[in-house]
Amino acid sequence: MKRLQAVSLLPALLVLLGSPGTGRAAQETVIRFAFQDRIGEMIPIVATKMGFFDDEGLHVESLRFSSGPACAEALYSGAADIGTMGDTAAVIAVARNPEFVILASNATGEDRHRLMVRSDSKAKALKDLKGRRLGVKKGTSTYGGLLAALDKEGIYPDELDIVDLDPPAMVEALLAGSLDGFVASEPTPSAAETKGARQLMTLGGLGNEYPILIVADRKRLAGREREIRSFLKALKRAEQYAADHPDETAAIMADETGLSPKVAEEAMKRHRYGIRLDGAILSSLERTARFLQGQKILEELPDIAGATQPDFLD
């Protein structure tokens, strides 16, 4: 496993696997799958650890990253065929590249993003961090949520010293005093708590489900309908495995993140796991797109319905 820092889309996705008679050569075609080492990525992690992709006859090459923008960059560069990312990164990706298509969400969690400060911090609310150094990975769903939280409080982003930082560096930067706080998704907040940091707030209550999306490059997956369905089937098996084996799943995630099984289990409770692409997910994505346009991060609104392909979940 490597660790590395409105026309229907269906016809284009059905044109490299070919007909059912393509046989073994098709089964040996590699799917390069970029996903994150985050608590929210429980389903891809379990599917990989438990060999569910292999069980479906797929050759999946797993590429591991610490953020959604890094997975998106793997898609942009051609290093990956499928990647996972939060809503902000996904909306930006489909807006900028019409070849990208959203296949499903694998998790949501209104409170999965948390703002952490040191235990001795005098901050009691977001406004208390004005003029302070706040770490966040820009381009992520966490960043989008932070902008929404600031907007709700009437705080301009430039009233804080926002530092673009990868999640693995956040805990030590906070404890060393290089940051006054950071905002991140799990496992970073829980890892900080085990070292004495405390939660100031979550990014919940802003009308966002913060879905983690599975995004594909439809050009590189053209003609591979059976593989795509088998790929999503393997993820659904992981979803069911987690529901049936919570203790074993917590152990897998603890091993993956470095948290204890108990802390990993608590972090997982901040998420709702499931392979889905329903109206609630689409509505959340449309709200995110409108907000990003209002923030001038997007020039034009993407066609969210046209950039999704739920047919493979049938």
Q: 152 and 223 share a domain?
A: no
- Structure confidence at residue 289 (pLDDT): 95
Q: Domain of residue 25: give its range.
A: 2-109+210-313
Q: 71 and 219 share a domain?
A: yes
| Domain C-terminal end among 202, 219, 250 | 202
Q: 92 and 218 share a domain?
A: yes
Residue 287 is which amino acid?
Answer: R
Q: 31 and 156 share a domain?
A: no
Query: Per the structure, how many domains does the chain have?
Result: 2
Q: With H, G, I as helix, E, B as strand and everything else as coil, classify residue 294.
A: helix
Q: 100 and 175 share a domain?
A: no
Q: 11 and 103 share a domain?
A: yes
Total-model pTM: 0.87
- Structure confidence at residue 153 (pLDDT): 96
Q: 228 and 198 share a domain?
A: no
Q: 221 and 282 share a domain?
A: yes
* 135-192 confidence digits (pLDDT tens): 999 999 999 999 999 999 999 999 999 999 999 999 999 999 999 999 999 999 999 9
| Domain C-terminal end among 147, 177, 202 | 202
Structure tokens at 239: 């979803």
- Structure confidence at residue 12 (pLDDT): 44
Please tell me the distance from the alpha carbon of residue 304 to that of residue 310, in angstroms, as a whole number: 12
Q: 135 and 58 share a domain?
A: no
- Structure confidence at residue 28 (pLDDT): 54
| Domain C-terminal end among 202, 237, 272 | 202
Residue 144 · residue 115 · CB < 8 Å:
no
Average pLDDT, 10 consecutive residues per value, the chain (314 residues)? 44 40 51 96 98 97 94 95 96 94 97 97 97 96 96 97 96 97 96 95 94 94 92 98 97 93 94 96 94 93 93 86
- Structure confidence at residue 222 (pLDDT): 87
Please tell me the distance from the alpha carbon of residue 38 to that of residue 36, in angstroms, as a whole number: 5
CATH code of the domain containing 92: 3.40.190.10
- Structure confidence at residue 89 (pLDDT): 95
- Structure confidence at residue 20 (pLDDT): 40
Sort strands 181-185 and 133-136 into parallel, antiparallel or unpaired. parallel
- Structure confidence at residue 205 (pLDDT): 93
Q: 143 and 96 share a domain?
A: no
- Structure confidence at residue 207 (pLDDT): 87
Q: 86 and 164 share a domain?
A: no
Q: 76 and 121 share a domain?
A: no
* 284-309 confidence digits (pLDDT tens): 999 999 999 999 999 999 999 999 99
For residue 156, which phi and psi values (nearest 5 degrees)?
Answer: -80, 140
